[in-house]
């Protein structure tokens, strides 16, 4: 199945962080590979060195890992109009310790390492744009996580619903419970109590 993808979301997103002329935009579009993931598919896996960066055109991904007790922990969810990559592993070219998995069917716009290198070498503003995007994404993650510690589980759940209204009842309890830092049965009880 092929889906028509305009890439407008991506281009508009990039333009928020710097100017690009039409020639540069066309160059960028030419580097992109469209990747459709079905719910449950993995975009990248622990143990492998990530070789791609994805912009989420449509859908929701989650980043997860296994902790020292062997529990699968959802570190965070990433939604539409954001980039997904294990930035540390990608930059340092070391095996990732995380999985990136499609929580819903997704349309991803994928850049390979080589494409990114080309863009970096060709478009003078590229690195600056990417750095701004990276920084903003990380700051957002910190600002999201930090207050969660002070909130009780019900509040964390309500905040999740607010951010991902369509998701709460359509993903496995385990994804959400581990993200919220509670057990599945506690989450089930919280749901009932609301």
Partner DNA sequence: TTCATTATTTGCCAAATGGCAAAAGTTTTT
Partner DNA sequence: AAAAACTTTTGCCATTTGGCAAATAATGAA
Which of 153, 163, 165, 167 is close enough to bind DNA by CB under 7 A? Answer: 153
Task: Give the residue, chosen from 100, 180, 187, 190, that forms a contact with a copy of itself under the rule CB under 8 A.
Answer: 180
149 binds, among a copy of itself, DNA, none (CB under 5 to 8 A by kind): a copy of itself
Task: Give CA–CA dist 50/146, Å, rounded.
Answer: 27
Residue 94 touches a copy of itself, criterion: CB under 8 A: no
What whole-number distance in Å separates Cα of residue 87 and Cα of residue 108? 17
From the list 108, 130, 110, 4, the residue with the least C-alpha distance to 56 is 108
Tokens 């995380």, located at residue: 98
Tokens 């069917």, residue located: 105
Q: How far apart are CA 117 and CA 119, in angstroms?
A: 5
Q: Which of 67, 119, 186, 194 contacts DNA by CB under 7 A?
A: 186
Among the listed residues 23, 152, 165, 194, the single contact to DNA using CB under 7 A: 152
Residue 106's φ and ψ, nearest 5 degrees, are: -135, 150
- In the complex, the smallest distance separating the C-beta of residue 105 from a copy of itself, rounded to whole angstroms, is 26
**Count of residues touching a copy of itself (by CB under 8 A):** 26
Q: Which residues pair with 99 in a beta bridge?
A: 64
Tell whether residue 134 is a contact of DNA (CB under 7 A).
Answer: no
| Edge-to-edge order in the sheet of strand 99-102 | 42-44, 99-102, 60-66, 72-79
71 or 114: CB nearest a copy of itself: 71
State the binding string over 132-171 for a copy of itself (x if CB under 8 A, else -).
--xx--xx-xx--xxxxxx---------------------
Q: Of these, 19, 22, 67, 169, which contacts a copy of itself (CB under 8 A)?
A: 67
70 contacts: CB under 8 Å, gap ≥ 6: none
Q: Interface with DNA by CB under 7 A: which residues?
A: 152-154, 171-174, 181-192
């Amino acid at each position: 199945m092929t889906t028509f993808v305009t890439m407008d979301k991506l281009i508009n997103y990039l333009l928020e962080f710097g100017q690009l002329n039409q020639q540069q935009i066309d160059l960028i579009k030419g580097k992109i590979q469209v990747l459709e993931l079905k719910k449950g598919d993995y975009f990248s896996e622990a143990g492998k060195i990530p070789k791609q960066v994805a912009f989420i055109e449509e859908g929701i991904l989650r980043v997860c890992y296994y902790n020292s007790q062997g529990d699968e922990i959802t570190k965070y969810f990433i939604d539409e109009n954001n980039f997904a990559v294990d930035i540390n592993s990608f930059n340092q070219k070391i095996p990732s310790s995380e999985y990136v998995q499609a929580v819903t069917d997704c349309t991803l716009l994928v850049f390979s390492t080589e494409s990114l290198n080309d863009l970096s070498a060709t478009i003078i503003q590229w690195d600056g744009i990417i750095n701004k995007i990276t920084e903003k994404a990380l700051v957002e993650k910190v600002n999201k996580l930090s207050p969660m510690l002070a909130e009780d589980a019900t509040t964390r759940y309500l905040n999740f619903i607010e951010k991902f209204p369509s998701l709460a009842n359509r993903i496995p309890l385990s994804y959400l419970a581990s993200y919220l830092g509670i057990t599945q049965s506690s989450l089930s009880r919280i749901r009932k109590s609301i």
